[in-house]
Amino acid sequence: MGFTGNTVKELEAIVGKAGVTLDSEELLCYSYDATGRSYLPQAVVFPSTEAQAADILKLAFANSIPVVPRGSGSGMTGGAVPVQGGIVLVTSQMNRILEIDRENFIARVQPGVIVGDLHRAVEEKGLFYPPDPASSSVCTIGGNVGECAGGPRAVKYGVTRDYILGLRAVLPSGEIIRTGVATAKGVAGYDLTRLIVGSEGTLALVTEITLRLLAKPEQVKTMAAFFDSVDQAARTVSGIMKQAIVPRCVEYLDEASIRLVRDSLSFEMPDSVKALLILELDGDSDTIEREAVQVRDFCEGHGSLDVILAENQAQADQLWQARKALSPILFKIAKNKINEDIVVPISRIPDLVRETRKIQEKSGLTLVSFGHAGDGNIHCNIMYDQRDKDQAERAEKAVDDLFEVTLNLGGTITGEHGVGITKMKFLPREISSIELNLMKGIKKVFDPENILNPGKIFIQ
């Protein structure tokens, strides 16, 4: 029982010698994700077929070896980190787009497909897959299913779960299941698809995904609105979302975020800017022109210093590149950061901004906030140096206060990054013990031996 020399031989028999690595540098590379928390696995395997993945799980099940599904390891809560060692199963060799069905607006893909590649492939055929996490150039669709990823366009189009019609997956026992449908509707039995989406790789290893697609919008218009008051910007977001127009993105950057990206933007920004909104509309060309004017007028009528319309794709790309670069360049401000993706009801965004300021003052730490304000999902980054014990303690307290405020405002502790290991201890504050016990029961049914991504979501 457990991982032995024989396990390596059996893994090699399944995926070949090239499909397994025990190399210490490789093990280190697969020991962490975007949280930076690191736990070494005993082996990393790269199956290239569903049958190989099923054989790996059968082997692990028979020998009680933990298996951790992994896409690109860009997760923000430690979901792909092997906290109990064992095998990290990487889906990078299962990365084929199997079918794009233009007539039925459906795609079938393997889990290791990079989301940005999927976007390009469907858009070449005049189709559209809306979920667009800011990490889309690196993250996999399997990882998006694992976390039920969102992204800027979720404001108008919803999140990953809204586009998953069906799955093929391997249970921890090695049995292969098929869930959902390849049709526009389907309610036969319990919705196992939705149960697996967002389950953070703890219930089943997803091996094939059937996606719902839309028609590619005719035109997109991107604009930036500057404010000299954070409260004013927050009130504008709440106000815009009450209008009949639904922008596809409403991203918010606070003053600290703007300082970090200012130099990479080619347009002039007034010196007094304290908040920036990136707004994006899509639709047919007539409607979009009219809506862009309405949104610009709304911002100007609500205290915006200036509103700039991107004149071409290059200017729009520049705005998005600046926004997407924010998370990595935050390390310029401090050695460590805790990134919390809290969500509050849209009408409570102004309250959240006020409360965040109080937490910043109380903790004496820098808090940098940006993100998907249009759906109330703000990424709040608490900057600190973990080598400094006092700072680390203040950062921990700030997280505690942030979750308290979020829940009091009727929000949730995670909108798209999941619970993983970083939010485990906070989950019981949002979910009652009755519901937690139901969830633990579901985990037991899927995974009686607790081998699939153990030590995640729940404190046992």
Ligand X SMILES: Cc1cc2nc3c(=O)[nH]c(=O)nc-3n(C[C@H](O)[C@H](O)[C@H](O)COP(=O)(O)OP(=O)(O)OC[C@H]3O[C@@H](n4cnc5c(N)ncnc54)[C@H](O)[C@@H]3O)c2cc1C
DSSP letter at 18?
G
In whole angstroms, the minimum distance from the beta carbon of 169 to ligand X comes to 7
Q: What sign has the CA pseudo-torsion 134, 163, 338, 352?
A: positive
Under the binding rule (CB under 6 A), the answer on residue 56 touching ligand X is no
Instruction: Print burial letters for 112-144: b (CB count within 10 Å at least 16), e (below 16).
Output: bbbbebbbebbeeeebbbbbbbbbbeebbbbbb
Site string for ligand X, 212-241 (x = CB under 6 A): ------------------------------
Under the binding rule (CB under 6 A), the answer on residue 375 touching ligand X is no
Q: How far apart are CA 360 and CA 363, in angstroms?
A: 5
Q: Pick one of 14, 80, 122, 279: the residue that binds ligand X (CB under 6 A).
A: 80
Contact between residue 372 and residue 131 where contact means Cβ atoms under 8 Å apart: no
Q: How far apart are CA 278 and CA 305, in angstroms?
A: 14
In whole angstroms, the minimum distance from the beta carbon of 448 to ligand X comes to 18
Q: Pick one of 151, 247, 374, 455: the residue that binds ligand X (CB under 6 A).
A: 151
Using CB under 6 A as the binding rule, the residues of this chain from 9 to 38 that contact ligand X are: 33-34
In whole angstroms, the minimum distance from the beta carbon of 8 to ligand X comes to 22
Contact between residue 443 and residue 201 where contact means Cβ atoms under 8 Å apart: no
Under the binding rule (CB under 6 A), the answer on residue 355 touching ligand X is no
- Residue 341, strand partner residues: 379
Contact between residue 227 and residue 304 where contact means Cβ atoms under 8 Å apart: yes
Contact between residue 220 and residue 282 where contact means Cβ atoms under 8 Å apart: yes
In whole angstroms, the minimum distance from the beta carbon of 49 to ligand X comes to 13
Under the binding rule (CB under 6 A), the answer on residue 86 touching ligand X is no
Q: How far apart are CA 147 and CA 432, in angstroms?
A: 21
Under the binding rule (CB under 6 A), the answer on residue 76 touching ligand X is yes
Strands (E) in 143-204, as ranges, are: 164-170, 176-180
Q: Pick one of 19, 69, 350, 376: the residue that binds ligand X (CB under 6 A).
A: 69
Task: Name the one range near ligand X by CB under 6 A: 56-64, 144-152, 303-311, 424-432.
Answer: 144-152
- Residue 177, strand partner residues: 169
Task: Name the one range near ligand X by CB under 6 A: 146-154, 240-248, 267-275, 313-321.
Answer: 146-154
The number of CA neighbours under 13 Å toward the Cβ of 368 is 23
DSSP class per residue in 390-444: HHHHHHHHHHHHHHHHHHHTT-BS-SSS--TTTTGGGHHHHS-HHHHHHHHHHHH
Q: Pick one of 65, 67, 88, 149: the residue that binds ligand X (CB under 6 A).
A: 149
DSSP class per residue in 86-137: SEEEE-TT---EEEEETTTTEEEE-TT-BHHHHHHHHHHTTEE-----TTTT
**Between residues 72 and 238, which has the closer beta carbon with respect to ligand X?**
72
**Between residues 169 and 307, which has the closer beta carbon with respect to ligand X?**
169
Q: Pick one of 73, 82, 166, 411: the residue that binds ligand X (CB under 6 A).
A: 73
- Total residues interacting with ligand X, rule: CB under 6 A: 37
Using CB under 6 A as the binding rule, the residues of this chain from 124 to 143 that contact ligand X are: 133-135, 139-140, 142-143
Under the binding rule (CB under 6 A), the answer on residue 75 touching ligand X is yes
* Nearest-10 crossing angle of helices 285-301, 230-241: 140
DSSP letter at 210?
E
Q: What amino acid is encoded at 433 in this protein?
A: S
Q: Pick one of 150, 180, 283, 454: the residue that binds ligand X (CB under 6 A).
A: 150
Residue 224 has phi, psi (to 5 degrees) of: -125, 135
**Between residues 80 and 292, which has the closer beta carbon with respect to ligand X?**
80
Under the binding rule (CB under 6 A), the answer on residue 79 touching ligand X is yes
Task: Name the one range near ligand X by CB under 6 A: 18-26, 63-71, 267-275, 284-292.
Answer: 63-71
Using CB under 6 A as the binding rule, the residues of this chain from 179 to 198 that contact ligand X are: none
In whole angstroms, the minimum distance from the beta carbon of 372 to ligand X comes to 7
Q: Pick one of 205, 240, 344, 399: the residue that binds ligand X (CB under 6 A).
A: 205
In whole angstroms, the minimum distance from the beta carbon of 102 to ligand X comes to 26
Under the binding rule (CB under 6 A), the answer on residue 455 touching ligand X is no
DSSP letter at 1?
-
Under the binding rule (CB under 6 A), the answer on residue 71 touching ligand X is yes
Where do contacts with ligand X occur on this chain (CB under 6 A)? 33-34, 68-76, 79-80, 91, 111, 133-135, 139-140, 142-144, 146-147, 149-151, 200-201, 205-206, 327-328, 416-417, 453
